[in-house]
Amino acid sequence: MKIYNTMSRKKEKFVPIEPGKIKMYVCGPTVYNYFHIGNARTFMFFDVVRRYFEYRNFEVIFVKNITDIDDKLIEQSITEKIPVSEIAKKYIDAYYEDIRALEIEKPTYQSKATEYLDEMIALIKELEEKGFAYEKNGDVYFSVEKNKNYGKLSGRKLEDLKAGARVEENPNKKNPADFTLWKKAKPGEPKWKSPWGDGRPGWHTECVVMSRKFLGETFDIHGGAIDLIFPHHENEIAQAEAASNKPLANYWMHGGFLNISGEKMSKSLDNFFLTRDVLKKYNAEAIRFFFLSKHYRSPIDFNEDILKESNQAVKNLYSALKENDYLSFIDEKPDYSENQNELKDQFITAMDDDFNTAKAIAVLFEIAKSARSSKDINSAHLLVELGRVLGFFSNLEEKLKTNLDDISEELILLLIRYRSQFKKDKNWEMADKIRDDLKKMGIELKDTPDGTKWKFDK
RNA sequence: GGCGACAUCGCCAAGUGGUAAGGCAAAGGUCUGCAAAAUCUUUAUCCCCGGUUCGAAUCCGGGUGUCGCCUCCA
């Protein structure tokens, strides 16, 4: 299998450190607000990465952090007039809620920054002792000049960074590109004790500490969205490799951005979409389809028309299962034909090529098509098996079930019987009225050679 | 100023040297009392110019356009 590695800017053959085992770390949310639909794209993509590896029988150790102490939480705490710890709790709960609603699986470890203060302080101390860090007025900075490889991930040179003229002026820093490891607390701010006085850790340090803790000094895959390449991941590498003298991660994967009508999503442009708001109008699978229909590294443009199309596409996938009455065969063991195995291989080939989910989805549609035309339940089984690798069809039983109590169902069947009589009498007006009225309630009738069938049309 | 990405049917989107996947939408046929569903069929030569090649959407050069990063950012 091949994975595009940001470090080399090439697709590389993927070789895990330990055969059969994948250690991956993905940067999670900073919990100062509800997360937006762009975050959702990244989280959902890495959910698929994890699912795919597991499908291919790898043991996956997947770590995702929660940044629960940061300048942004402090700002939000002032805005909402509640303590930082409550801000964190509120948005962590919301995060879990939204993730569940998106049908994203939990990582193996979901770690919070504030639980690893001791380890962070130890790392900063180690860096100070090794001469990579210096203290000034209660702040501790990492000295980028001490690390000759600084900039290797983002392809930046220190001179270029200086020339950028947008680097903030900070008289405490030896080099404007130096970044904060420990920040002195101002009065009233959350603080922890440290050898440099009361303060809080910088953002870049937590990921190094938590990845080390759960995955070791070098692990397989480090992921995030493209904007994290610089400075966040660059600064993680600088610290981790200064301390251990070993590469932090072998493969760096970065997801592309989500734009709104061609423009970057930002609060100032007022085109900010929270995941929970999108979920009010579109279900998780429509959103998932929309994300996965484009390659993860490409920018994707978000608009409602495309979400509607995606919703329709997913419905059509489901119809292949309903046509086959999949629910009745859900516990059956599949027995794939040669042709079905061939389709499965096509799916795997697509995913092996740097997670070409768009192509994988095309295979899904081919399978759905044959499931419908051949009425072969094995095609339906294959559709579910592979669809689940992309995260579709979770809680399938529930989704296929009609969720009606017995009386309601009896009433529908009663109406269908009346309508059949009207049809026999060629009373088309009444027959159509029953059909139309039921349709208004979201119940769709269709006349088949085996009699009239009904289903929810949602 | 530095670095990078992208431009394929009405819309979304694969394909990166061998003659254009798939989805949505649309049109027509079958089926139906009419529908719905299902099913079959139809719809592009790949931003422009030049080059390399037997052969290019795919490689090279030059345009044009769009976007991103360099500051917190998924």
A364-403 pLDDT, tens digit per residue, is: 999 999 898 888 899 999 999 999 999 999 989 888 876 5
pLDDT at A157: 80
Between A298 and A439, the more confident residue is A298
Angle at Cα A41 formed by Cα A257 and Cα A209, nearest 5°?
90
SS3 per-residue string spanning chain A: CEEEECCCCEEEECCCCCCCEEEEEECCCECCCCCEHHHHHHHHHHHHHHHHHHHCCCEEEEEEEEECCCHHHHHHHHHHCCCHHHHHHHHHHHHHHHHHHCCCCCCCEEEEHHHHHHHHHHHHHHHHHCCCEEEECCEEEECHHHCCCCCCCCCCCHHHHHHCCCCCCCCCCCCCCCEEEEEECCCCCCCECCCCCCEEECHHHHHHHHHHHHHCCCEEEEEEEHHHHHHHHHHHHHHHHHHHCCCCEEEEEEECCEEECCEECCCCCCCCCEHHHHHHHCCHHHHHHHHHCCCCCCCEEECHHHHHHHHHHHHHHHHHHHHCCHHHHCCCCCCCCHHHHHHHHHHHHHHHECCCHHHHHHHHHHHHHHHHHHCCHHHHHHHHHHHHHCCCCCCHHHHHCCCCCHHHHHHHHHHHHHHHHHHHCCCHHHHHHHHHHHHHCCEEEEEECCEEEEEECC
Q: Provide mean pLDDT across the span A221-229.
A: 93
Q: Residue A440 in contact with residue A433, Cβ under 8 Å?
A: no
Record the tokens describing residue A252, joined without a space: 């760096």
Q: Provide mean pLDDT across the span A330-355.
A: 94
Q: Residue A48 in contact with residue A392, Cβ under 8 Å?
A: no
Residue A59: pLDDT over 50: yes
Q: Residue A147 in contact with residue A110, Cβ under 8 Å?
A: no
Name A129's Cβ contacts closer than 8 Å, sequence gap at least 6.
none
Task: Name the nucleotide nearest A308; use CA and C1'.
Answer: B24
Q: Confidence band (pLDDT; 50, 70, 90) for A9?
A: confident
Residue A252: pLDDT over 80: yes
Which bases of chain B are under 7 A from a protein CB atom? 1-6, 11-15, 21-25, 32-40, 66-74
CA–CA gap between residue A66 and residue A81 (Å, rounded): 22
pLDDT digits (tens, 9 = 90+) for A77-90: 999 999 999 999 99
Q: Confidence band (pLDDT; 50, 70, 90) for A63?
A: very high
**CB proximity A156–strand B (7 Å threshold):** yes
CA–CA gap between residue A211 and residue A224 (Å, rounded): 13
pLDDT at A455: 77
pLDDT at A190: 93
Beta-bridged to residue A448, according to DSSP, are: A451
Q: Which residue is nearest to nucleotide B2 (CA to C1')?
A: A160
Q: What is the ipTM of this complex?
A: 0.94
Q: Provide mean pLDDT across the span A37-62.
A: 97
**CB proximity A447–strand B (7 Å threshold):** yes
**CB proximity A267–strand B (7 Å threshold):** no
Q: Residue A72 in contact with residue A14, Cβ under 8 Å?
A: no
Describe the crossing of helices A71-80 and A84-101 by its angle, rounded to 10 degrees: 100
**CB proximity A299–strand B (7 Å threshold):** yes
Q: Which has the closest alpha carbon to A144: A152, A154, A133? A: A133
Backbone φ and ψ for A220, nearest 5 degrees, come out as -80, -60
Residue A244: pLDDT over 90: yes
Residue A147: pLDDT over 90: no
Weakest mean pLDDT among A112-126, A196-210, A228-242, A262-276: A262-276
Q: Provide mean pLDDT across the span A163-172.
A: 61
- Give percent above pLDDT 70 in chain A: 95
Q: Confidence band (pLDDT; 50, 70, 90) for A446?
A: confident
Q: Which has the closest alpha carbon to A321: A274, A277, A367? A: A367
Instruction: Name the residues in A407-446 having a C-beta closer than 7 Å to nucleic acid strand B.
Output: 423, 428, 431-432, 435, 444-446
Task: Name the nucleotide nearest A154; use CA and C1'.
Answer: B3
Weakest mean pLDDT among A44-53, A88-97, A402-411: A402-411
Weakest mean pLDDT among A51-65, A113-127, A423-437: A423-437
How much is the CA Rg of chain A, to the nearest whole Å? 27
Backbone φ and ψ for A241, nearest 5 degrees, come out as -80, -25
Task: Name the nucleotide nearest A176; use CA and C1'.
Answer: B71
**Quick one: how far is CA A318 from the chain centroid?**
23
Record the tokens describing residue A25, joined without a space: 């770390």
Q: Confidence band (pLDDT; 50, 70, 90) for A8?
A: confident
Residue A179: pLDDT over 50: yes
Between A354 and A450, the more confident residue is A354
pLDDT at A164: 46
**CB proximity A316–strand B (7 Å threshold):** yes
Q: Which has the closest alpha carbon to A259: A215, A227, A236? A: A227
Mean pLDDT of chain A: 90
Q: Confidence band (pLDDT; 50, 70, 90) for A161?
A: low
**Quick one: how far is CA A139 from the chain centroid?**
34
Domains contained in chain A, CATH given: 2-255 (3.40.50.620), 311-400 (1.20.120.640), 406-456 (no CATH)
**Quick one: how far is CA A241 from the chain centroid?**
27
Instruction: Name the residues in A339-398 having a C-beta closer than 7 Å to nucleic acid strand B.
Output: 353, 356, 358-359, 361-362, 365-366, 369, 372-373
Q: Residue A344 in contact with residue A386, Cβ under 8 Å?
A: yes
pLDDT at A172: 85
